[in-house]
Amino acid sequence: ASAADLKGCDLIIEAVFENRELKAKVTQEAEPMLAEGGFFASNTSTLPISGLATASANAQKFVGIHFFSPVDKMQLVEIIRGAQTDDETIARAYDYVQALGKLPIVVNDSRGFYTSRTFGTFVMEGAAMLGEGIPAPVIENLAMQVGMPVGPLAVLDETALSLSVHVLD
């Protein structure tokens, strides 16, 4: 696939690894393919949207749309407002997420945003419990019994340990 395949899209969501330079490259290649009035989103889980928007030709139409892994099980999606993101873009991102049947929340632009910082505690405690000798099935089953869609160790399996460490750095 190439950026040209995206020509005429109303929304393009970048979802590459948490690397500023790579995200900037993808933004600069894909954003020109947007339809007139379209908007661009990053699925970043940790990098500030305002910083990523510096690679954009139109920072007012640049927003964060953070889906959580595993996407098919996690209902919550963060809509991240950058310093220059306009209200129309926030509203359109919110409507898009709702149309997918997900639950959008609008959050401010800060490292880790809201949920990565709070959810990180859940995941790291699961890893700590495993290190203390509590069997993995006990950790996973208890997490789901109290209402989590997946256990903390499953989240680590899904997202990779390297990403979890990167988020905490």
Report CA-CA distances (Å) from 15 to 43, 133, 139, 144, 153. Answer: 5, 36, 30, 28, 23
How far is 41 from 4, CA to CA, in rounded Å? 17
Q: What are phi and psi of 81, to 5 degrees?
A: -85, 120
| Catalytic member of 29, 78, 125, 158 | 78
Concerning whether 78 is annotated as a catalytic residue, the answer is: yes
Strand pairing of 76-81 and 34-42? unpaired
CB 83 within 8 A of CB 50: yes
Catalytic residue positions, numbered: 78
